[in-house]
A and B are shown apart, each in its own frame.
Chain A
């Protein structure tokens, strides 16, 4: 299997090399000007241009048949599944009013820790707490999830994987809305957005490899 993977990488590198060469030759062929009287006129060098186009077409076939990380295992999905579990737990905890237990916990200010442990937050305190809890979700956790989207789209296809990534993006927007409402001091809107995000997350299932989007 390792030999197959190495060959695929070599083919891809060859394709990328041909892509560069084809682009340069194609541009050179298309860019030629010639002196005509006192003016420079466009006279493309068609043989050179055709060679460039041919190389580009060959490169396109090679690169598409051997995509980056092609034939990979389920690492991308496993990683996404783990972060998704973490995200679900975090949002559920936020709805219940529990402090997050994320890897980024070290960033939580001491004042917030005291606030969370006081167990009697008033509206403003709750909103401040919520905003500070959402910061690591929006800044750390979701970006990590979206970083893995390329692998996911490659693994499951642009349609099936796209449905999942699009759902995640909706969760991101709803959490951003909760953050904005918290900063604006509007607790009902923040809670409503959190509830919507949680609902969206509940309905969000990782697509099966090569299969149809969940729920279809």
Chain B
């Protein structure tokens, strides 16, 4: 028996039945998780500064520390568990970048070190780099041109 509903009518029916994501809760958890990771970063920074290191070096060491910690959490599966609740709060900080690379590297190791791990390590992080660099070039060009005026 053929369904006598247009796609638009069906889309309305589906929207009426499909439960929406709990946005308020998701945003609160994202704020707490993301904020927590940033707080951790701040603690790292303060620690390195307290050792008498330069601001630039302390900043780099903070990033490296968070990336390493993100990798450890990823490998133990804890990052995926945290992300179920943290959502964007785990995606945006540099630990999320670490997770995206580690997870792809682990995943594709079974297809070999070159065509598996090597080819796929940037599978998720790749777009961030491509468009990050593109945006940087564009910004640099605008900056250079405007400084000539």
Partners in one complex: no
Interface residues of A (CB under 8 A from B): none
